[in-house]
Structures are given as C-alpha cells and as structure tokens.
Amino acid sequence: MLRLTKRAEYGLTALVHLTDHVGEVVSARKISEQYKLPYRLVGEALKDLCRAGHIRSMRGPSGGYQLAQRAGSLTVGEAIAAIEGAPTLSDCDAKALVGLGFGALGDLDVESRCLIRSPLHRIQEDIWRQFERTTIEELASPEFTLLREERGAHQPQKNSA
C-alpha cells in the first residue's frame, strides 16, 4: 500500500514546526532534537524543500530555515513531491518497472495486462488528490492532532499579512 518515506514524514514534521514558528529561523538540529528524529534525514528533507522554494535557508551561527511562503498556500502533495516525487503504487506502472532496472519496455503493454492496476491506481490517485488539497496550514491546525502532544503547548503565531 502507499507509504511515505521516513524522509517525507520528517519533512512534513519540519514544515508543521516551521508553521508553528512563523517568522522565526529554526535549525534542523532543533527540529530533529525536539521530535527525536535523525538529524541527517531532517536536514536532507529541509534541503529538498529549500531547493523547491518552499522554505528559505539562512546561514550563520543563528541560521536555519523558515517558510518561504504562507503555509496555507503550500500543499502536502507539493511538499511530498519536493522530497520524494509523486508516489507510485504498483509494479504494473511501466515507469516503475523501468526504474527498477528492467530497461526500456518497448511495445510491452504491462499496464493493460495488470489485473490490479486499475483499482489500486484509482485509490492512489484519490490519496494523492487529498495530499494536493490539504495545506500545511491545515496539517498544523489543532484538528490534525497527530503531532500536537509532541509539539507541546506552543501556539502558532498569527500572521497578520
């Protein structure tokens, strides 16, 4: 079934943290320590998000990262795509087969012969559409309580702009 990589999970966690600390510069180390995540993977996810223009990097002794856009305009799908690309679900996907080292498939019509591709592909598309509809701001809201206890009592700053 569809699974996010740890790197994508850590990147989303970092984005929620940055959303809770709008206007602040937050280091990868601080995020990794607060949520007990591997520093290297958090840093890699943040670099991917920075390359995509979703966050900004600040250098120096008090450097770190901050959102480059409003959390309400960045979707979970955009963040995941920046970190790991759009997910593939079944090996019936011809691109996935090529990526696994099967070389050029030529005229081989794998997709039309795969019995499970159609239903699973529809489920994957539905999940991906939900990722594309859900913003990081929504993910950081109190209604999404997945990380709320770990994040502590800090309330997100309201951006008046």
Residues 6+ apart with CB under 8 A from 136: 12, 15, 16, 19, 71, 72, 74, 75, 76, 79
pLDDT tens-digit readout, 9-58: 999 999 999 999 999 999 999 999 999 999 999 999 999 999 999 999 99
pLDDT for residue 76 is more than 70 = yes
- Give the Cα separation of 61 and 114 in Å (integer): 54
Output the average pLDDT for the chain.
79
The domains located in the chain, with CATH, are 6-149 (1.10.10.10)
Identity of the amino acid at 125: E
pLDDT at residue 49, rounded to an integer: 98
- Give the Cα separation of 117 and 134 in Å (integer): 25
Task: Please report how the helices 39-51 and 28-35 are oriented relative to each other, as an axis angle in degrees rounded to 10.
Answer: 130
Torsion of CA 31, 34, 36, 40, to 10 degrees: 20
- Give the Cα separation of 60 and 93 in Å (integer): 45
pLDDT tens-digit readout, 85-130: 876 545 555 444 444 444 444 444 444 556 555 677 778 788 888 9
pLDDT for residue 157 is more than 70 = no
